[in-house]
Chains A and B, each alone.
Chain A
Amino acid sequence: MTALDQTAAPGSAMDIEAQAALWLQRRQYWDWSDADQAELDAWLAQSTAHEVAFIRLMAGYSRTDRLVALRAPRTERRGFGLLPRMVAGLALVAALGVGAMQFSTDPKDVTYTTPVGGRQMIMLADGSRIDLNTDSILRLRGAVGKRLAFLDKGEAYFQIKHDVTRPFVVTVGGHRVTDLGTKFLIRKGADSVDIALVEGRARVDAKNGAGKSVELLPGEEVIATARDITKVRRSTQEMSNELGWRRGVIVFEHTTLAEAAAEFNRYNPNRIVIGNAGAAKLKIAGTFPSDDPEAFAEIAQDILHLHVVRRGETIVLTK
């Protein structure tokens, strides 16, 4: 890079900025073909100065979108929030709900709720995908310059199409998770939140802006409580197990029966109850259909030699 000596007009910062601005407006305001994109890519590849100038303009330009607030008020009002803008043709496949929505600047949230045992896949117009696990509540909100999600309850897996001009931010239990090009899993417990990064990068800002901000790399998991935030490493296998629910299964590895029961009870209205402490401490391993506590009870009976008693909606396991 000999740019240090180039203060003359061609190749100067002002000249490059002018070129970058022409590219930007061309992409934003005129027909834009693959050939145009290739031409832009070639220009960007010519030098870091080009690339940086373009990124800077692009990021700044995205922040000027608040100027739409200056638009003269419309006489005609849109009816019901996001509904008209939602992509039609929602397919419902078995118990798996598939929705599609587009972020807009409408302040009204779109809420997704799954019942116990339910699961929903939400496809976003920007190409992102969110899988909502059992007994969960997720709200989506479009905002100027960002995409906001609120996990009010339960668990969700986010595969976010990264957009530097519109960061994707999930608020959960007062903590904020910001996508930096990412696949991540969030599970909201009674008094803690688990955030596991599967791919890419994400940042977790602890509750109440307590100053704690943690960057997650793949394989790392953060456990955030109201007071503290701790980071642990997970193996690829553990990560994969944690995502078993997306395939409709629960995976246990050296899991106590008490923990396994609690896990099943997240997915099913008929509950598994462990009858005594001796049984609760037994450990199990294996992959089970999340919607079939009966199958789990049978295995507990056959392998662990437990007594299984059914009382109405409850399955009691005792040693």
Chain B
Amino acid sequence: MAGVMAQTSDTDRKHPDLRLVEVHMTASTLVDWFVREVLPLEAALMHFLRQNWRNQAEIADLRQDVYVQVYDAARKQLPTHTKAFVFQTARNLLIDRVRHDHIVPIDGVPDLEAIDAPDNAPSPEQATIARDEFRRLQVALDKLPPRCREAVILGRVEGLPGRAIAARMGISEPTVSVHLANGIRALVNEIYGRKSSDKEQS
């Protein structure tokens, strides 16, 4: 732990090893970078957080905090090494929490090199991943509660607007909204929350 603490002085917090480049920023560039380079790391990030944090109920909040810090930092400058930057941010966040809570749940310093995360460059296996993602989406869809599933199928698959979904299902419009929102969350969590290698048992 002494080593961990020594590395988290305020000067270190500037990530001297993570060179940042000046980039002419526009909102769309930032959003695009986040979608293209940060979100695909989510499965690996979640894995990292679960491995290094005892209270699993807090993982979603930790992920959010990492995203917020990464995104706010990138408003000024996009990091050149997104993956390293994201995991460095996650690591520092966990260490901050340890200090703050006076608890010691961290098992040493995570090895950034050992973290299994996708490269930023598109891979030739993308087609395979795409097929895999489709299968996982289908499974996630099947796992939704029946009414929620029905609303999502009418909306996302059949392309009906909310009002038509309400009429077809004979339920109120606010209820349709809740079903759609829950369904969207479940599907998106399926897309980002899991590595494509985590095969669904079906």
Contacts and interface: CB of A to CB of B under 8 A. Distances in A.
Interface string B178-189: 101110110111
A25 B162 contact: yes
Interface stretch (A10-18, A110-118, A236-244, A252-260): A10-18
Nearest to B63: A13
Interface string A156-187: 00000010100100000000000011000000
A128 to B, nearest CB: 13
B91 to A, nearest CB: 15
A309 interface: no
A16 B68 CA distance: 12
Contact of B96 (A4, A17, A25): A4
Given A3-B65, A181-B29, A200-B29, A52 B34 contact: yes
Nearest to A26: B177
Contacts of B122: 205, 209
Contact of A21 (B34, B63, B67, B184): B184
B140 to A, nearest CB: 9
B68 A49 contact: yes
Contacts of A53: 64
Describe A's contact surface by its main secondary structure: helix
Nearest to A11: B61
| Range of interface residues on A (Cβ < 8 Å) | 35 or more
Contact of A29 (B34, B138, B165, B191): B165
21 contacts: A1-B68, A1-B72, A7-B58, A12-B60, A13-B63, A18-B185, A21-B182, A26-B177, A48-B72, A60-B184, A60-B191, A61-B184, A61-B188, A63-B191, A64-B191, A66-B130, A68-B159, A71-B157, A180-B28, A201-B29, A213-B121
Interface of A: 1, 3-4, 6-7, 12-14, 16-18, 21-22, 24-26, 28-30, 47-49, 51-53, 55-57, 59-61, 63-71, 162, 164, 167, 180-181, 200-201, 205, 209, 211, 213, 217-218
Given A28-B155, A30-B173, A180-B29, 20 more contacts: A3-B64, A7-B58, A13-B61, A13-B63, A18-B181, A21-B181, A25-B162, A30-B161, A30-B163, A47-B68, A49-B68, A52-B71, A55-B35, A57-B185, A60-B184, A61-B188, A67-B134, A67-B137, A167-B32, A213-B121
